[in-house]
Structure 1
């Protein structure tokens, strides 16, 4: 219904992407997104080993015969995962689409290109998007300040960041950060983007492998119920506001505080407890401002169909009916 350079790049029906979400983007969710005609990405680092990623790709392939990809997030850590081994698994699996995030994917571009893999890099600034284009990425996803996860340090919202990126690049741009419904898709296309990427909205679907309490919390929350943390350490992250996130923010405000002072509170194992048990105060969990636009828990297929059909109604109806003086 909406054909763009992104639908052509991925060979999908709709210009709607499900971004990679740690511990969430598994075979169940990604295959559902693919079967709905959208584009989904497994998260490589959700799997504890490259061998486990290979198995998860096989599981996904058994659930769908439509295109899907793998997210490879490259972060600076003291004990980095074996990124090259994860990348080789992606290549060997026959998957033809990769979403990269974090540091530049340049070290892996030659191998990905040789395997015929299309790379879309997630960025938080125009300058980083330009670098992604320079190193050969086929498209970029631009994260506005509203987004869950790490929205960068520039604090530029999507309404400005998306068209600025579109103006600067020649490759396709996908809008991300604050997008969750048909109005968001129409707005993204109006700003020159070729589609939209959603995380928080897909988190609140039947197929998302998280506890029902988390989904219910998203439905009950407003756009004001997020918390910025790690600002002091120049690694800003947007999470759902709970007692743990508020405590982390308070510790950051103390004079002389260091990241080690919050390490235990933000540990991944605590976040995993939230997702698995539904104890919403056990740790931090990612959520974007778009949670204020989430009012139900549909299946992925219902959500994608609703977004596309309502977007078409907006374009053919309300917008078409506007009078230009």
Structure 2
């Protein structure tokens, strides 16, 4: 909680604009101090929280009591409807293209976003495959209120990851991601590397009998080694198919300005005569 508080203070020092905080609820042998994290969010005056992973119902009352809007990340329409039913204010709809955990339905955003628009009464934003002004305009056209970016933001100057990670993203194409942990129904899209190839070989050999312990050396505890130490071949790390659209490492300001300028140009120029 103290580290989160420090990061929130840093963000407040950099902007007077609203910002949100992500809370990912996942099963763990040593779960984070979720009550402490929620207390920090409240004490720091955070007004928007994006939840991901497990159902956030347990935490909604205290968040709502403190006027915090909750956006829950969902990989299917049925999960988005459940989030709506339990009282979430909005959802982030995560298509099959996304890095990290795309769920088990394998539905890409060209289908998933319009389906969400048809079913939901609360607002939603698009996630997965988002990188530029084209992504934003397409998301708006399919009913989203905006878009959410993950992999694209890792490849920015300010992203607090090792430069080796950013260079790996620059070098990759849309063909360089793989799905791991499918037999465990914990599917994750990751960037291909030798560790991922070993992991996939184990899954192929063991089939439905594979256990987490069999692949732990390729997935457990690898993020500090990859993201902080730059050992990009150390294990499996999340990366979206959108990596094929990443060709530079701009500042966040440069990226945001580019996205808005491109989106405005598409709407005002390309669509003007339609």
Q: TM-score range by the shorter chain?
A: over 0.9
Contact 1:201 1:291 in 2 (8 A): yes
Residue 204 of structure 1, aligned match among 108, 130, 155: 155
CA distance in 1, matches of 2:210, 2:91: 35
CA distance in 2, matches of 1:236, 1:144: 13
Worse-matched range after superposition: 307-316 or 55-64: 55-64
Q: How does 1:167-246 map to 2 (within 5 A)?
A: 167-246=118-197
Contact 2:84 2:90 in 1 (8 A): yes
Equivalent in the alignment of 1:165: 116
Equivalent in the alignment of 2:211: 258
Tell whether 2:92 aligns with 1:141.
yes
Q: Deviations over 1:162-197 (max 9, x none)?
A: 110111111111011111111110100000111010
Q: How does 1:122-137 map to 2 (within 5 A)?
A: 122-137=73-88
Contact 2:184 2:210 in 1 (8 A): no
Q: How does 1:295-314 map to 2 (within 5 A)?
A: 295-314=247-266
Contact 1:174 1:193 in 2 (8 A): yes
Q: How does 1:97-108 map to 2 (within 5 A)?
A: 97-108=48-59
CA distance in 2, matches of 1:271, 1:52: 17
Matched positions, count: 272
Structure 1 outlier segments of 4+, above 3 Å: none
Q: Deviations over 1:237-285 (max 9, x none)?
A: 00111111111111112233211011122122x2211212322211222
Tell whether 2:29 aligns with 1:78.
yes
Runs of 5+ consecutive residues of structure 1 not aligned to the other structure = 1-49
How far is 1:69 from its partner? 1.3
CA distance in 1, matches of 2:153, 2:210: 35
Equivalent position SS for 2:29: coil
- What TM-score, normalized to structure 2? 0.96
Contact 1:227 1:246 in 2 (8 A): no
Tell whether 2:220 aligns with 1:289.
no
Contact 1:252 1:258 in 2 (8 A): no
CA distance in 1, matches of 2:264, 2:17: 23
How far is 1:216 from its partner? 1.6
Equivalent in the alignment of 1:113: 64
Contact 2:125 2:145 in 1 (8 A): yes
Q: Flag the structure with higher helix content.
A: 2
Equivalent position SS for 2:184: coil
Cα gap change, 1:218 to 1:126, in 2 (>3 Å): same
How far is 1:92 from its partner? 1.5
CA distance in 2, matches of 1:169, 1:241: 35
